[in-house]
Amino acid sequence: MLRLFIALRPPPAIRDLLADAMDGVPSARWQDDDQLHLTLRFIGEVDRPVAEDIAAALEQVHAPAPTVRIAGVGTFDRRGRVDTLWAGVTPHDALAHLHRKVDQACGRAGLSPEPRAYLPHITLARLPGSAGRAPEIAGWRAVHAGLSSAPFAMEHLVLYQSHLGHGGASYEPVMRWPLDTGAPDA
């Protein structure tokens, strides 16, 4: 079985900006550079033939490369405890459009539609249950509330395989497809 997801990868300068915000919460498991991405669709575990169908469907996705910017930080809670620290990405419209196209491609490959609402973000850290109410979390949010970047394009759709291990997940790009940058062909 292959554990897959579809994402966009921010350029190196944006990943550096995000890395600068990864401090101040001692128990956080901060993402490393290879883990920084914006998920468009989590797939989960599928067998190889389904993965091949997904790749074939994604090859047919044609959309403009979204131009976005980093805009603030936030948290996700589970059962009253913060379990994720993230950076926001805006504007949402182009990302939501691309998310719908990717979700439709996954449907053509036999997957059910994504049931959750889509909130564009880049995960910066995961927190153990024991840290979910730490006062440092509020301090981190306050310090990084103004996190922002100049606009940047995310020019490739990437199919990733996630490998779960003792230290967390590692992500391996399996395939990638260019999005339309609007630049003329050379």
The pair of three-digit structure tokens given for residue 129, joined into one six-digit string: 């249950």
Whether residue 127 contacts residue 29, with contact meaning beta carbons closer than 8 Å, is answered with: yes
How would you classify the pairing of strands 29-30 and 168-178? unpaired
Confirm whether 121 is a catalytic residue. yes
Candidate list 37, 92, 99, 166, residue with the active-site label: 37
Confirm whether 62 is a catalytic residue. no
How would you classify the pairing of strands 38-46 and 2-8? antiparallel
How would you classify the pairing of strands 29-30 and 121-126? antiparallel
Candidate list 121, 156, 163, 166, residue with the active-site label: 121
Classify burial at 1, counting beta carbons within 10 Å of its beta carbon; exposed 0-12, middle 13-18, buried 19 or more: exposed
Best CA proximity match to 123, nearest among 4, 11, 3, 34: 34
Which residues belong to the active site? 37, 121
